[in-house]
Chain A
């Protein structure tokens, strides 16, 4: 059976009629007991399992997924990867993630189709231009390369943008991070799943966690639709369902679940070769390898677990896109969808032990979990292996909401949510 993916194996299998490819991952029966149970088979959960096995040598890990792998926000986001944050704590986290993404295809032996085409954040007034300079300076001080582009340079790089004299939001310049880009989101989930499986991790799909097994005030396992599974440590990486899991575990979180929508146009020839966001129009766009314009924007304003989205926000985002790119008026919309994102008051994630000892949280990523998958997995694996924080995850402990050490990255998110 062929397990390793390479040009040579593609050639060999092609000559044998593609009959010899090994299954990418198993679907085993869950055991009664594991060292670590991870709830949630999205990018964060699967990456956590992979790094637990790879970096920390933990045996007997299980990932439990209610639906299918990467079927939540991992498969619903707009695949942008960037580390253009303001605070040093955020930069440590998100730039670690970007660095890991840069070698992830090789590390996992799975093509995640990373394309570092840069990300441009349009600036639309002289006052904003000063704030943009501050942002670029902050990024450079934090060790992340960034450029402040003037209007002429933006126009040279993105000629199809709206530079009309009567444009609602004129272009004064842009913040540009050249290392930012996009990747194939499903491939990130599948790549981690395949690599984790190869290291012995059990991945159980179609298995719902219905409750927690608590003994002596400590979480010692989970009740699932396929029986009780016990573990030394339980981790949850369930994004929009964080509040639902927290209720089952008997505590509340500083999280509100909202719908974040996205949509794609019909595919067209290559016309746009970066990721571009305009905070003023509240929309961002990139062009996928298939040629579709991938479009995203701010949150729906109504808290929801609906995974579909309301029309007013879609109208706002599409109006913004047409203001930015009048040429896209001719495009037809192909698909629209929504995901349930777990939004914290300071737009920063939550890591660490939950109020129920033995149960650990990786969540609160809000609108930005995909870009953070490799770092989130690395840090959560450290937490689940050691029971304590990694230096990079420590500022993101749930306790920050008790002590007042919030990391207000609302401005760093690019879109005002």
Chain B
């Protein structure tokens, strides 16, 4: 069982967390083109190696930013979200 560190609750088991997609995938405005909209909805960086992702801690319902390696699973940092969600 891997522990992820929720910025609000501290280290908790990985099963309490839900993957929320790439960090920086901002929701487009109402005037967005179909391409921008489907980019936002479906298309992913899916990076091998270091990735910046949004995760939710299901216990406290807070979303946060996690930097981790998608090959080694090492987590380098977790942050509360600022303006970068």
Taking beta carbons and an 8 Å cutoff, which residues of A are in contact with B?
241-244, 246-247, 252-257, 301-306, 310-312, 345, 401-402
Contact = CB atoms under 8 A, between A and B. Distances in A.
B1 interface: yes
List 8 tightest A-B contacts by C-beta distance, closest first. A243-B46, A254-B42, A252-B43, A401-B42, A305-B48, A312-B15, A305-B71, A244-B48
Contacts of B47: 243, 247
Given A252-B44, A253-B43, A312-B1, A402 B70 contact: no
Contacts of B8: none
Contacts of B73: 302, 304, 306, 310
B14 A247 contact: no
Interface string B31-56: 00011001101111111110101000
A79 B72 CA distance: 27
How many B residues are at the interface, by size bracket?
Answer: 20 to 34
A310 B46 contact: no
A306 B15 contact: no
Chain A interface, >50% SS class: mixed
User: Which of A302, A303, A311, A345 has the most B CB atoms < 10 Å from its CB?
Assistant: A302
A302 B72 CA distance: 12
Contacts, number: 72
Nearest to B44: A256
B17 to A, nearest CB: 8
Contacts of A303: 19, 46, 51, 53, 70
Contact of A402 (B15, B34, B46, B71): B34
B18 interface: yes
22 contacts: A243-B44, A247-B45, A252-B39, A252-B45, A252-B46, A255-B44, A301-B17, A301-B19, A302-B14, A303-B46, A303-B51, A303-B53, A304-B70, A304-B71, A305-B70, A306-B72, A310-B2, A310-B73, A311-B1, A312-B14, A345-B42, A401-B43
A253 B39 CA distance: 9
